Amino acid sequence: MRDDADRLLPPTPVTSLDGHLAAGGGRGLAHALEIAPEEVIAEVDHAGLRGRGGAGFPTARKWRGVLDNAAGAGGRLSLVANAAEGEPGTYKDRVLIEQQPYAFLEGICIGLYATGAEAAFIGIKEKFTLPVQRLQAALAEVREAGWRGADRIDIVLGPDAYLFGEETGMLEVIEGKLPMPRIIRPYEQGLNATTAVPNPTIVNNVETLTHVASILANGAAWFRQAGTESSPGTMVFTVVGDVDNPGVYELALGTPLRTLLVDIAGARDIKAVYSGTSNMVLTPERLDVALGFDEMADIGAGMGSGGFIVYDNSRSIVDVLAVLIHFLAIESCGQCNACKLGNTAMDEILAKVQRGEATQADLETLLRRSHTVTDANRCYLPVGSQLLVASTMQAFVDEFVATVERGEPTPADLPTPLIEAIDEDTGEVTWHPRYHLKQSDWSYADEDPRDERLEAIRTD
């Protein structure tokens, strides 16, 4: 079995290139350069690595697909490392960059060599100041050390928007625009594409690329010593919410969800669990599911980027759904009418339920809106809304109906679960401090719009 030294999360943060090399780093890139690019891709393929950014797509298949498109259509092939980490409940990429930046850069250099991409871009939020500093310093060091490909890596600082993490939104930002998702996927039309020159582009998550460095250093068979047949390796999970020990934990895939949430994170009296905002709710009877891409899909769920938000039985499910849908309504970019209008309508209905002013007809409208919110969608964001609303209303229908019948305000005291920081020593979680001020057009209000609402409740 693999021991602790083989995990992505190091026992102590790796803060210099010397430290990385002393811990056995650098071997992945060295080995990759000794073999042919296609052999590098074959190794990643044998390892069975699947993307850790949300969809669990096989990495080698993505690389080969883009290579085929580039060969057929031509243009410049690029590699984009997605470090936007905008999914609610997820914090692992920032921890990886802070603690293991050289392994991440090594993975990018290997990706550049294996695919023959001309350039690599790391898309990271400007507000992630410490990870950005660590990355800039590490990149300067590996360039100085002459790592092959390092001089073709650029760091692109992006906005505090959910869609910056959506792969085509990220391409737009790299091109100097707003993160407005495109219809055509990056593997077909990538950076600075035109119809004549499609420039297919690979987009991979930070953790995915960091695993690539380990796989090339230790081999596919070693990688497969952890995990399951269809989901090999380890994954870096985040757990926040109503748990005693919130934090970032690396576990072998295939571990039961219950082990992560209950035994490790200390969740008790669980009511509902969400893996980000793009998957169905998980209720307590689902906790024995294995943390694997196919195992989760088999029960209709998804692992997302491995960030779990836990709510216990003290919470109003109306408040939980309201805070998640409010996030998606704000972050929707408005290029597709059904998405922006549908999410906004669902946000307003849920706020009405929270105020104790809704009728049963409003609940029916909410469910109906969830069916049409995905109409003509460019990106996956409203699919998340649909899954959240449909699954949560189905699992907690009695509570929704009872809340409406009571006609009283709910506590409405939950933060948007966007993680600003997790203190490694105390486990204290800081949420995005200004999210409640963010408006539908992505500007920030000067005053908290909820103050007015709370005042109205108080004076009623």
Ligand X SMILES: Cc1cc2nc3c(=O)[nH]c(=O)nc-3n(C[C@H](O)[C@H](O)[C@H](O)COP(=O)(O)O)c2cc1C
Part in contact with ligand X (CB under 6 A); list of ranges 85-93, 112-120, 134-142, 356-364: 85-93
When computed from its CA atoms, the radius of gyration of the chain, rounded to whole angstroms, is: 22
Binding flags for ligand SF4, 164-203, as an x/- string (CB under 6 A): -----------------x----------------------
Part in contact with ligand SF4 (CB under 6 A); list of ranges 91-99, 147-155, 375-383, 441-449: 375-383
User: Judged by CB under 6 A, does residue 381 bind ligand SF4?
Assistant: yes
Q: Within positions 310 to 349, which residues make up the interface with ligand SF4, using CB under 6 A?
A: 332-336, 339-340
Part in contact with ligand SF4 (CB under 6 A); list of ranges 135-143, 249-257, 360-368, 377-385: 377-385
- Alpha carbon of 145 to those of 22, 136, 141: distances in Å? 15, 14, 6
Residue nearer to ligand SF4 on the CB measure, 49 or 339:
339
Cα–Cα nearest to 162, from 14, 406, 408, 333? 333
User: Judged by CB under 6 A, does residue 208 bind ligand X?
Assistant: yes
Residue nearer to ligand X on the CB measure, 163 or 404:
163
Longest dimension (CA), the chain: 74
User: Judged by CB under 6 A, does residue 377 bind ligand SF4?
Assistant: yes
Segment (H or E) for 254: none
User: Judged by CB under 6 A, does residue 165 bind ligand X?
Assistant: yes
Distance CA 27, CA 364 (A): 58
User: Judged by CB under 6 A, does residue 277 bind ligand SF4?
Assistant: no
Q: Shortest Cβ distance from residue 56 to ligand X (Å)?
A: 7
Burial level of 420, CB count in 10 A (0-12/13-18/19+)?
middle
Residue 340 partner contact from ligand X, ligand SF4, none using kind-dependent CB cut-offs of 5 to 8 Å: ligand SF4
- Coil/strand/helix, residue 199: coil
Segment (H or E) for 206: helix 206-218
Segment (H or E) for 60: helix 59-73
User: Judged by CB under 6 A, does residue 167 bind ligand X?
Assistant: yes
User: Judged by CB under 6 A, does residue 384 bind ligand SF4?
Assistant: no
Compute the Cα dihedral for 225, 230, 236, 239 and give only its sign.
negative
Q: Shortest Cβ distance from residue 268 to ligand X (Å)?
A: 30
User: Judged by CB under 6 A, does residue 89 bind ligand X?
Assistant: no
The residues, ordered by sequence, that sit 6+ positions from 347 with a Cβ below 8 Å of its Cβ are 322, 325, 326, 329
Q: 427-442: b or e for each residue (b if 16 or more CB lie within 10 Å)?
A: eebebbeebbebeeeb
Count of positions on this chain that bind ligand SF4 (CB under 6 A):
14
Q: Which residue has the tokens 């970032």?
A: 248
Q: Shortest Cβ distance from residue 57 to ligand X (Å)?
A: 5
Part in contact with ligand X (CB under 6 A); list of ranges 24-32, 48-56, 235-243, 409-417: 48-56
Residue 336 partner contact from ligand SF4, ligand X, none using kind-dependent CB cut-offs of 5 to 8 Å: ligand SF4
Distance of CA 177 to the CA centre of its chain: 21
Residue 204 partner contact from ligand X, ligand SF4, none using kind-dependent CB cut-offs of 5 to 8 Å: ligand X
Distance CA 439, CA 399 (A): 29
Q: Shortest Cβ distance from residue 194 to ligand SF4 (Å)?
A: 21
Distance CA 177, CA 172 (A): 5
Part in contact with ligand X (CB under 6 A); list of ranges 67-75, 198-206, 220-228, 317-325: 198-206
Site residues, ligand X (CB under 6 A): 51-55, 57, 62, 82, 84-87, 162-163, 165-167, 203-205, 208, 379-381
